Chain A
């Protein structure tokens, strides 16, 4: 379902070209659980951004669910992001003014789900992520684990085909981090493709497929 062919992404640092991605070829099937590891600056986050259509490669081809999404317009890419991809970030990225349930419901608003249907879907998500009694709290009133649960609920409320997680436990202590990982893995078990970027070896080892990157290239890809 995901196929990258000869993807290159170049950043200019002063007068030098730095290849964040230097000819990456990668296929990920539907329902896989993949970890992408590597030292800082190896290009793993850039790869995740390209996979999530947040960043455009300078060359190469990206096929998602059988269609070429490389050259889609910005608006079309936004729609693909909305419908097929869920992001989970290290720093949660919740809107501070909105309550937990409003944060979770944001994608529903963006995709034009009618008012009447929204609340029931948000309620379902609140139950599913054990946030019912936190529904009316703002992010500042939530613990780190709760915030990440809100973020995951938001990322999955439109049932994306792929969940892209960038260091999802980076800001959490070990115990809470493990809980969040269990939660993500349960989503994977339910059929979602899970792509995890981390430099935590232990965390990375939990995935079923391990991709290692260095200097913008994939140096290992093991199952």
Chain B
């Protein structure tokens, strides 16, 4: 019997046992769909977190004072001795490194903001014009801090602060008071919500010089640095450490965090998670495989006399084996295809319902799901097919 006839006859058989075939195909399809959808969810979660991290800046390097002596924990917060401060001068020198595209020194404090007869405490960021691009912030109205204006009395308001103090709008150009100093509102940040611990809607940003004198300090909270490219990050980190060591009398007393490292860790964890759920889903495929085997075994015993007949009219065992083998191949193939479609559809639904979650099934998962389904079907057919092939024709004809 040639391949085409084998496939044709087995397909006919599959189609004629409609209910049985539909149930098997569904079981297979659900297994494949589970693999596709669950990995889409896992990968979506990974994409979501990675996206969040990129939103705080790309190729970002953060320099903070103090040496993290222990692994883990938040560096700078766990220090036993007072580290040497980071200064604006340090920042300027770091900005001269060839791998550095731009940088923004940062100071943070809390102080009272007064304007239009209202008063509240706000978090103040002191920085420079480059904070906007380095930190991927967006401006809603007006302009950000001007370049080279470390002491000009400009202030940029978070969107919620602007809304609270000037509910009637028309904010640009208004005067506000921070502590004992007056500032002119030059811009308003776009609504961004909370990201990485800061709610940028409730911040105000002023030039770094004003911030330092307001808080009466010459040190910096941290320095944000944007490397020229992703490949520059590692060498930039080394150069920064090296430079700071030279500037700090040979003592390595700063900590450099690359966003890459944090990101890579999250990436690894979430990738493992995705693999984990894919594995769990694959178990359902194995269960479907056992179902296929079960049904095929029943089919073989139900069709005993038919197998006997095939042998009597001259079918060799190999033909009989191939017929049953092809039958389960059809079933698992149909299950795999239907499952793939269901999985893609399910992922699409997730993306429609949760647009912020990029739940695209990874290609490897779709391929793996379909392949495992087909392999399971093949494996599950081996025993029934060989049982059919080995039947004694005389007994089989008698239905025994």
Asked if A82 lies at the interface with its beta carbon under 8 angstroms from chain B, I say yes
Q: Tell me if B195 is interfacial: C-beta within 8 Å of chain A.
A: no
**Which residues of A, 39-58, contact B by the 8 Å Cβ criterion?**
49, 52, 54-55
Q: Is B16 an interface residue (CB 8 A)?
A: yes
Which of A93, A97, A111, A154 touches B308 (beta carbons < 8 Å)?
A: A93
Q: A55-B394, A97-B16, A112-B1 are in contact. Are A75 and B317 (CB under 8 A)?
A: yes
Tell me whether A83 is interfacial, beta carbon within 8 Å: yes
Q: Which residues of A contact B13 (CB under 8 A)?
A: 97
- CA separation between A196 and B104, bound complex, in Å? 103
- CB atoms of B316 and A95 under 8 A apart: no
Whether A109 contacts B1 by the Cβ 8 Å rule is yes
Please encode chain A, from 60 to 99, with 1 for each CB lying within 8 Å of some chain B CB and 0 for all others: 0000000000000011001101110001010001011110
Task: List the A side residues contacting B393 at CB < 8 Å.
Answer: 54-55
B107 within 8 Å of A (CB atoms): no
Say whether A79 contacts B314, CB under 8 Å: yes
Report if B315 contacts A (CB, 8 A). Answer: yes
CB contacts (< 8 Å) of B394 on chain A: these are: 49, 54-55
Q: Which of B12, B16, B312, B318 has the most CB of A within 10 A?
A: B312
Contact between chains at B314 and A97 (CB < 8 Å):
no
B306 at the interface (CB under 8 A from A): yes
Q: In the complex, which residues of chain B have a beta carbon less than 8 angstroms from the beta carbon of A216?
A: none
A207 at the binding interface (Cβ < 8 Å): no
Q: Which residues of A contact B315 (CB under 8 A)?
A: 78, 82, 110
A181 at the interface (CB under 8 A from B): no
In this complex, the member of A49, A52, A79, A81 whose beta carbon has the largest number of chain B beta carbons within 10 angstroms is A81
Q: Does A24 contact B (CB under 8 A)?
A: no
Which residues of B, 383-400, contact A by the 8 Å Cβ criterion?
393-394, 397
A82 touches B314 (CB 8 A): yes
Known contacts A54-B394, A93-B309; is-contact A107 B314 (Cβ 8 Å) = yes
Q: Does B5 touch A at the CB level, under 8 Å?
A: yes
The reply to whether the CB of B9 lies closer than 8 angstroms to some CB of chain A is yes
Q: Report the interface size for chain A: residues with CB under 8 A from the other chain.
A: 26
B2 within 8 A of A: yes
Whole-angstrom distance between the Cβ of B3 and the nearest chain A Cβ: 11
Complex Cα–Cα for A155 and B305 (A)? 16
A97 closest partner in B (C-beta): B16
Residue of B nearest to A155 (CB): B313
Q: Smallest distance from the beta carbon of A96 to chain B beta carbons, Å?
A: 8
Q: Known interface pairs A89-B397, A109-B9. Does A78 touch B314 (Cβ–Cβ under 8 Å)?
A: yes
Residues of B within 8 A of A83 (CB): 314
Judging by beta carbons under 8 Å apart, are B313 and A81 in contact?
Answer: yes
How many angstroms from the CA of A54 to the CA of B313 in the assembled complex? 10
Given A95-B306, A110-B1, A112-B1, are A75 and B397 neighbors across the interface (CB < 8 Å)?
Answer: no
Q: Is B311 an interface residue when CB atoms closer than 8 A count as contact?
A: yes
Known contacts being A95-B306, A97-B13, is A106 close to B313, with CB within 8 Å?
yes
In the bound complex, what is the Cα–Cα distance between A7 and B393 (angstroms)?
A: 19
Contact B311 A54 (CB under 8 A): yes
Q: Are B1 and A97 in contact, with the CB atoms below 8 A?
A: no
Q: Does B319 contact A (CB under 8 A)?
A: yes
Contact A110 B314 (CB under 8 A): yes
> Which of A83, A95, A111 has its CB near the most chain B CB atoms (within 10 A)?
A95
Q: Is the CB of A87 within 8 A of B16?
A: no
Pick the residue among B9, B12, B309, B313 that contacts A82 (CB under 8 A). B313
Which residues of A have CB within 8 Å of B308? Answer: 93
Which residues of chain A have C-beta atoms less than 8 A from B16's C-beta? 97
Q: List 15 A-B contacts (CB under 8 A).
A: A49-B394, A54-B394, A74-B316, A75-B317, A75-B318, A78-B316, A79-B314, A79-B316, A97-B16, A106-B313, A107-B313, A109-B5, A110-B310, A110-B315, A112-B2
Top 4 closest pairs, chain A to chain B, by CB: A82-B314, A78-B316, A97-B16, A93-B309
Binding site for A on B (CB under 8 A): 1-2, 5, 9, 12-13, 16, 305-306, 308-319, 393-394, 397
